[in-house]
A and B are shown apart, each in its own frame.
Chain A
């Protein structure tokens, strides 16, 4: 995907979010650290352009909720700033890549500790398959079938200088 593809996908997803929820009322966007956060901001801006209403967005760090803390290298914790109140809202979780589903599982636990949204939906820029949990996205930028050992990296201009999606071949034969 080139920067134009990404922008068009986000615009379409913004339309889908509005269509599914019949407008922006009660909808909050929550980006998952790290690259879900700028994507949530962009979706919020796209929704504002389309609907003319500002919609709250925030960030969620799920580092403390992972089920694989014992086996993955320690990473820095990010900021959690979720718009208030979550109770009764429709929360759209936003992430760059959906893979095993474990990040989303952790994000659902983290959200539950912060409040009780009426419903939670999931928006991802890339769905690369290989789910290990019964989790499915509501809004997808692009389906990208991959091999298990390939790496999919999303670059966003806010963090990585330029937008782009990269697939690296797996190291394992």
Chain B
């Protein structure tokens, strides 16, 4: 593994090894001194060409907990506003002596282009509506901590799947790890071609609700056109929101996940978000551990080039 760009081409073994390492990093992060020297002397650049709070902070915390230095880049204050190209920007940053780049970009495939240009590991922190592989890893880790395995679990991903890189990354990762995935959304928010997705689709949440072990709620993404393809937020909540009424119909050990940021009262009722069976804060905490696992995998140890 020289880069970490997508969950579509990672094997079950690779995912499992990353999750196993992440378990160790969960333990490291729980120590009174939550820092290890594994990546001392390495520099990780976080290049976020699109706004982000949690993913960027999470990667920075992960790098620092491994004793790597971090450099960050935000497009509004950079030479991008002077018209510098993506390629020149990443080559400039690389020339300052970075060892790995974490890239988020609104354009699908941008991290792959960056990986061609630079000669260091590239980590995809989200490209357009395409992939966000570390999110899938943290989701898988959160589920595995609760159930011990993903094998045989029924996982429903509910909401704006068409515009969601989280959904895409999750569907492939969960499937590779042995879960049965159902995508639940109105036709307008399902992928245009479901054929290539290792999942089944349903337009009726209530029909599948009681069979699910995990309900993964997606955010209604107004910035990616998610709101415009739906008549109203109230109608979305009525048909696809995790209301208390729906929550009470779930199997007793079924858990609820959400990638954040939440729209309380839209896709998830506030009481559900705060329930013990909602693992949303566990997801955030696990984000640091899985990013440590990926950084350690790519930077700690001999490279097979």
Write the residues of chain A forming the contact surface with B, with a CB cutoff of 8 angstroms: 61, 63-65, 69-81, 109-110, 113-115
Contacts and interface: CB of A to CB of B under 8 A. Distances in A.
Nearest to B302: A73
A61 B38 CA distance: 12
Interface of B: 17, 20-21, 24-25, 27-28, 31-33, 35-38, 66, 296-297, 300-302
A80 B301 contact: no
Contacts of A113: 31, 33, 35-36
Contacts of A110: 36
**3 nearest CB pairs, A to B:** A74-B301, A64-B36, A77-B24
Q: Which of B17, B20, B32, B37 has the most CB of A within 10 A?
A: B37
A69 B27 CA distance: 20
B25 to A, nearest CB: 8
Contacts of A70: 301-302
Given A74-B300, A77-B24, A79-B24, A65 B37 contact: yes
Given A79-B24, A79-B27, A72 B302 contact: yes
A79 B27 CA distance: 8
14 contacts: A61-B24, A63-B38, A64-B300, A65-B36, A65-B37, A69-B301, A70-B302, A73-B301, A77-B24, A77-B25, A78-B24, A79-B27, A109-B37, A113-B33
A167 B304 CA distance: 29
Contact of B38 (A69, A75, A76, A81): A69
Contacts of B32: 114-115
A39 B218 CA distance: 49
Contacts of A78: 24
A64 B38 contact: yes
A114 B33 contact: yes
Q: Which of B31, B35, B66 has the most CB of A within 10 A?
A: B31
B40 to A, nearest CB: 9
B36 A71 contact: no
A78 B28 CA distance: 12
A81 B24 CA distance: 10
A70 B299 CA distance: 8
Given A74-B301, A113-B31, 18 more contacts: A63-B38, A64-B296, A64-B300, A65-B36, A65-B37, A65-B38, A69-B38, A69-B300, A69-B301, A71-B302, A72-B301, A74-B297, A77-B20, A77-B25, A109-B37, A113-B33, A114-B31, A115-B32
Contacts of A74: 297, 300-302
Contact of B27 (A63, A80, A115): A80
Nearest to A115: B32
Contacts of A61: 24
Contacts of A63: 38
B253 to A, nearest CB: 26
Nearest to A80: B27
Contacts of B25: 77
A143 B33 CA distance: 36
Contacts of B296: 64
Contacts of B300: 64, 69, 74
B89 to A, nearest CB: 28
B20 A76 contact: yes
A81 to B, nearest CB: 8
B258 to A, nearest CB: 29
A110 B37 CA distance: 9
Given A65-B37, A65-B38, A70-B302, A76 B17 contact: yes
B66 to A, nearest CB: 8
